[in-house]
Structure 1
Amino acid sequence: MKFASVMQLFPGCEAEYRRRHDELWPELAEHLDQCGISDYYIFLEPDSLQLFAIFEAGDDFDPERVRSHPVMQRWWNHMADIMETLPDSNEPLARPLTEMFYLAGSCT
């Protein structure tokens, strides 16, 4: 299954957001892998500073398992100063997106 969402970056934080992700903690990458997350992409729309995230996960994907792990909580705390978060939480405000179109094929 594919999951997609939109998040909001604060103005002037583009370079810092990239730097932090370039230095992604190995224990966070391991946690996401153990939760079945793969092919995780995040794109920036520079005019609005919206972040578009998409990843794949198996049918047994459990978002609560991702959220509740201490390393995820630490990462969200680490990122909370540069992006919108949920009220009373450091979890990023991630609005889910609905798939509207998919074209399978090759690039040949």
Structure 2
Amino acid sequence: MKKKGFLILLAAALFFTVGPQQMSAGEFHEDWKQVELTEPQKKELAEIHSSILEQKKTLIDKYVEFGVISKEKRETIKKHLDKGYAQLEDNEFIPKHPHSNKKKK
């Protein structure tokens, strides 16, 4: 029994000391900032995002139909979704992560 406990502690110690290296949010998103999309790529992404937006709106309508959320909440959510799509258009469909800079180390 003592041997089993010792092995568990040893495994935990190894995990925390040799565990996977984490990269900062800035390192992860640096590659995205350097990409320039072609017009056909932008058009393809626009079509996909537009389809996703319409599906999300359909889903929100179903939640209203089933009484899960109110009609007022639906309008708020749809405005938020439209705002997000407009931001994607402004950024030429390259996602920007405004929250990744919140915690600078």
Same fold (TM > 0.5) = no
Larger Rg: 2
Name the one with the larger strand percent.
1
